[in-house]
Amino acid sequence: MTQVETDKLNELNAFMEQAVQNEHSDSYLIAVLHKVQQLYGYLPREVMDTVADKMQIPTAHIWGVATFYHYFNLSPIGKHTVSVCLGTACYVKGAEKVLDTVKKELKITVGQTTEDRLFTLQEARCLGACGIAPVMMIDDKIYGELDAKKTVDIINQYRKAEKQNAEKQS
């Protein structure tokens, strides 16, 4: 286990100590799940087993709670979230083609993350930028008036930035 992983687990354990000391520990479960997601970006299976153990709550119950709330990510998410708008204005202006382009370029479908963990693809319903439809959002940045070429160019900008970052760090 790396130092970072050990630190995360220690922080989570400390957080859970407080939860189990409380008589109504079940009501702390959601707070603990939030903490796990804050630390790991999603709910890793092995960490959830630790939570079940520590809090003495059946794993099935924990997964039941986790899947009930859409907020929780059950699988790893990418560094960047790409949301393609399929709202009416975007749909009319060719959003489906934009979505197909992104899927093809990233080789994933909606709800999935690329192998390099750089992108997660999502659908959205109106991002409030109908005037520049069709639109996609990457993290919190909106890109409009998209066609296939522009869409690929934007994705490549992120790949390039990532590559430059990696080079800087090595």
Residues found near ligand FES in the complex (CB under 6 A) = 85, 87-90, 126-130, 133, 135
CA distance 160 to 23: 51
CA distance 106 to 119: 8
* Closer of 147 and 162 to ligand FES (Cβ): 147
* Closer of 55 and 84 to ligand FES (Cβ): 84
Q: Which amino acid is present at 36? A: V
Residue 167 beta carbon to ligand FES: minimum distance, rounded to whole angstroms: 35
**Cβ 118 vs Cβ 82: under 8 Å:** no
DSSP label at 165?
A: H
* Closer of 9 and 86 to ligand FES (Cβ): 86
Residue 98 beta carbon to ligand FES: minimum distance, rounded to whole angstroms: 10
Residue 99 beta carbon to ligand FES: minimum distance, rounded to whole angstroms: 12
One DSSP character per residue, 39-55 reads HHSS--HHHHHHHHHHH
* Closer of 9 and 89 to ligand FES (Cβ): 89
Residue 94 beta carbon to ligand FES: minimum distance, rounded to whole angstroms: 11
Angle in degrees, CA 5, 161, 107, rounded to 5: 80
